[in-house]
Structure 1
């Protein structure tokens, strides 16, 4: 998991190295592909936060650098506190909670030296298609980054995570096909239990379907379409139905979902591109730079120019 641009202690079995595979023309945040250690089968790697920290001298937390990956990061904190930036928001993860960084998220590490717990990295293709469909609401880009399972599920989830770690380290104990099948089965069981811990599943099937369609429509159209009424027309439902589905799924109204997506894109472009404030405003469909400035300042407390020059990500 260490980039070739950074030093790492040469240790047998060290974590996978994200390999820069693409870079957006307007951005400076690298996109890394999955590249586990030699001999690790398929797109799944399991280690611990403490081992990862011990095996790498100064990356990726000193100095902190934002990046994106084509794979998922899943971390259970069992001791200490983990702080991690996901899409420009600092998340604090305490024992018993899980951090789930989805593929494509802009993320940045803080020094994890006080945190302990299993650290799972996996490519989306590792999950079987039928299981992936069940997990779709929880692998979505806007799903919660920090998960707090029901107390009754906490011991089971931790035990399964450590069973997965043990199986991952047992390469050679069983035939390779059986070894990989066991790892994938344990991972799927872990994800299904974590995602559907009581209180985690936000919606019934009808409202969930409405919100999924709304989320996809926003992702495609947020630069040009900004009114809830227009999305309701697009999806063939009432504004009330759409608003309820968004509220149940996210705890936010439909208008706030739209605005937060625009705000996220504004943060990305201001921080990681050379676009002018005027160009960002036009790209996001604001009538002028002043309107964009008011929108941004109301939600962040900073002007776009001040946000761009701020030192943190």
Structure 2
């Protein structure tokens, strides 16, 4: 686990030649907090721009592509940890969280306690120090999970949509047919569609296609893999089929999307 402020992040990036405004896809968690007396921070996660308000928090998960906004205009703290470090891992919100008045004091206290123990390295053995940090980060995450004025409504962990979502995360490179997931999970396609629509406002097929498009975008912007290699990774039989699928959902060819997302010149031919 690591804790840094925005100024230290800028300094590290400069030393390592990293463009924080460019796309990054780390394999660890980022919990970004903008101080209550600082300017809001713009932050792009999976190609969607969010504004983290003063006093707000944003949780970026491993594998997501994210890009920092203008860090010099804001001040804040970033808690970084690898998967498996904490014992409690509540589902992170997809948008910034601004704790309500009733929860703000408890969240701030949890952060201060974590920062204090993080800085107090010499008073315990390293093993005990890490155990303490795990517990304190658990508390901070649980406080944030209940920081809104109204606790978020969660779908049952063993319900049709949650099981479908887990199966999609596991198998979206293997099959793009909702019927295959329905058969595997023991539901009808109608049940999956109804449950997905209730949870997300879109059909099961639309949800599945969107997950595939998201992964394609991540690979296009964060790797230099040819379109044909990405097509094979995502389970397409040909790069042409992949290009048609991507263009249908994004409106651009894969390589045109890559060029635009990176701010480079559009290639002469489509991906």
Q: Secondary structure at the match of 1:262?
A: helix
Q: Corresponding residue for 2:269?
A: none
CA displacement 1:134-173 (0-9 Å, x = unmatched): x3x44xxxx6253444443233212311221122122224
231-240 or 60-69: bigger deviation? 60-69
Aligned residues: 258
Q: Match for 1:189 among 109, 126, 139?
A: 139
TM-score (norm 2): 0.77
**1:46 and 1:164 in contact (8 A); partners too:** no
Q: Secondary structure at the match of 1:237?
A: coil
Query: As a proportion of its length, which structure holds more helix?
Result: 2
**1:100 and 1:146 in contact (8 A); partners too:** yes
Asked if 1:203 is matched to 2:155, the reply is yes
Q: Deviation of residue 236 (structure 1)? A: 0.3
- Paired with 1:302 and 1:248, the residues of 2 have a C-alpha distance of 30
Q: Corresponding residue for 2:226?
A: 275
- Paired with 2:199 and 2:63, the residues of 1 have a C-alpha distance of 21
Structure 1 residues 118, 309: CA separation in 2 closer, same or farther (over 3 Å shift)?
closer
**2:53 and 2:98 in contact (8 A); partners too:** no
Q: Secondary structure at the match of 1:124?
A: coil
Q: Match for 1:300 among 242, 246, 250?
A: 250
Q: Match for 2:25 among 54, 61, 68?
A: 68
Structure 1 residues 53, 246: CA separation in 2 closer, same or farther (over 3 Å shift)?
same
Q: Which runs of 5+ in 2 are unaligned?
A: 264-271
Q: Corresponding residue for 1:98?
A: 57
Asked if 1:81 is matched to 2:32, the reply is no
Report the aligned-residue RMSD. Answer: 3.2
Structure 1 residues 283, 107: CA separation in 2 closer, same or farther (over 3 Å shift)?
same
Asked if 1:108 is matched to 2:59, the reply is no
Structure 1 residues 150, 291: CA separation in 2 closer, same or farther (over 3 Å shift)?
farther
**1:86 and 1:145 in contact (8 A); partners too:** no
Structure 1 residues 286, 93: CA separation in 2 closer, same or farther (over 3 Å shift)?
same
**1:47 and 1:165 in contact (8 A); partners too:** no
Q: Corresponding residue for 1:48?
A: 5
**1:66 and 1:107 in contact (8 A); partners too:** yes
Q: Corresponding residue for 2:185?
A: 235
Structure 1 residues 91, 230: CA separation in 2 closer, same or farther (over 3 Å shift)?
same
Q: Deviation of residue 120 (structure 1)? A: 0.7
Q: Which runs of 5+ in 1 are unaligned?
A: 1-43
Q: Deviation of residue 223 (structure 1)? A: 3.3
Q: Match for 1:260 among 190, 210, 218?
A: 210
Asked if 1:169 is matched to 2:128, the reply is no
Q: Secondary structure at the match of 1:152?
A: helix
Q: Corresponding residue for 1:119?
A: 78
**2:220 and 2:258 in contact (8 A); partners too:** yes
Q: Deviation of residue 285 (structure 1)? A: 5.0
**2:43 and 2:69 in contact (8 A); partners too:** yes
**1:75 and 1:98 in contact (8 A); partners too:** yes
